[in-house]
Amino acid sequence: MRVVFAGTPEVAVPALDAIARSRHELVGVVTRPDAPSGRGRKLVASPVAQRAEELGVPVLKPEHPRDPDFQKALAELRPDACPVVAYGALLPQSALDLVPHGWINLHFSVLPSWRGAAPVQHSLWAGDEVTGATTFRIVKALDAGPVFGIMTERIRPGDTAGDLLERLAEGGSGLLVQTLDGIEDGSLEAREQPEDGVSYAPKILVDDARIDWTHPAVGIDRQVRACTPAPGAWSTFEGERIKIGPVVPTDRPPLEPGVIEVTKNAVLVGTSTAPVRLGEVKAFGKKQMAAADWARGVRLESGVRLGD
């Protein structure tokens, strides 16, 4: 089949590469427009755009996929199907109708669980033991289209959202190619999602990532891992925001929520249950470092409190 791939961030690149290696003809790529990045805020092409240029594939960067010029350019490419991974813009019906076999999305959950922008983060935060990826045909309703295929992935105890997403991106790229193969040869039929078991995963904002030390240690552990690497879990120390990397629940004697205990090689923080051991800390304007190194640098003493 002739395919046009749609995607934007780094997590979409494995699928783009898999399709480029497949039997399908990659005739174009759709991605978000160049965006400011770095201290100089220079416009930078998306990871998908950069990879497409390396592959020598034409790239379309519409401000919005409803733009008539974009839809005309897409129609001229004559795609049979448009595989999608984390494109980042809502597709209007007029764009959906341009493609005979539809826009086929790779979503990083086992639908109908965790429809929305942040399925991996919400799955971790909820304490799920298993997640996965789903391919489905995009319809107007959010992540509600008929399903072609599913893969599952066990969540490991120390997984961050970054770790888990990386594995799902690699495994899901194969699922997406298999789905295109099945659509082309007619061996795969999409099935409607069940009405039961629907849950939603909206984008996690910076305010959502603030740690409440009055929560149990297991909940804080899940929150921090779900928010790593983005948007980054955080608390405050002496009025300044600090980002906190993965924590480890301990069996040490309880501390009051937010209260710090400094040992020779560790920094413990109280919760509503047992303390957690801090992993890495990034203070404002500083590099990320081990919590023990941060504690020595600020001459941290036991008894002070995070979250002030």
Q: Express each pLDDT in 217-226 by its tens digit.
A: 999 999 999 9
Question: Tokens for 1?
Answer: 């089949």
User: How much is the pLDDT for 280?
Assistant: 95
Query: pLDDT at position 265, please?
Result: 87
| Confidence (pLDDT) at 37 | 82
Q: What angle is formed at CA 74 by the lines to CA 70 and CA 76, rounded to 5 degrees?
A: 120
Could you read off the pLDDT of 258-293 as tens digits, one per residue? 999 999 889 999 999 999 999 999 998 889 999 999
Say what the pLDDT of residue 245 is: 94
Worst-scoring range by mean pLDDT, 35-44, 188-197, 241-250?
35-44
pLDDT given for residue 71 in this prediction: 97
Residue range(s) in the chain whose domain bears CATH number 3.40.50.170:
2-185
Q: How far apart are CA 307 and CA 257, in angstroms?
A: 9
Q: Read off the pLDDT of each residue in 147-168 and give the average, rounded to a whole number.
A: 97
User: How high is the pLDDT of residue 308?
Assistant: 72
Confidence band of 185 (pLDDT split at 50, 70, 90): very high
* Cβ atoms 245, 288 nearer than 8 A: yes
pLDDT at 285: 85
Q: What is the mean pLDDT of residues 230-258?
A: 95
Render pLDDT for 87-110 as a digit per residue (tens, 0 to 9). 999 999 999 999 999 999 999 999
The Cα–Cα gap between 97 and 65 comes to 12
Q: Look at residue 76 and tell me whether its pLDDT is greater than 90.
A: yes
For 112-155, write each residue's pLDDT tens digit.
999 999 999 999 999 999 999 999 999 999 999 999 999 999 99
Is-contact 216 273, C-beta < 8 A?
yes
pLDDT of the residue at 284: 86
Mean pLDDT of the chain: 96
At 32 the pLDDT is 97
| pLDDT band, residue 40 (cuts 50/70/90) | confident
Considering the four listed CATH numbers 3.10.25.10, 3.40.1590.10, 3.40.630.30, 3.40.1260.10, the one that applies to the domain covering 207-297 is 3.10.25.10
Spatial contact of 263 and 224, defined as CB atoms under 8 Å apart: no
Buried b (16+ CB within 10 A) or exposed e, 80-119: bbbbbbbbebebeeebbebbeebbbbbbbbbbbbbbbbbb
Backbone φ and ψ for 225, nearest 5 degrees, come out as -65, -35
The phi and psi torsions of 172 (rounded to 5 degrees) equal -65, -25
The CATH 3.10.25.10 portion of the chain extends over 207-297
Three-state secondary structure call for residue 42: strand
Q: What does the pLDDT average to over 206-214?
A: 97
The answer on pLDDT for 39 being more than 80 is no
CB distance 36 to 60 below 8 Å: no
CB 195 within 8 A of CB 94: no
Task: Indicate the residue type of 197.
Answer: G
**According to the CATH classification, is domain 2-185 in 3.40.50.300?**
no
Tell me what pLDDT residue 41 has: 81
Query: Quick one: average pLDDT of 208-216?
Result: 98
How many CB atoms lie under 10 A from the CB of residue 59?
A: 18
Copy the structure tokens of residue 211: 């740690």
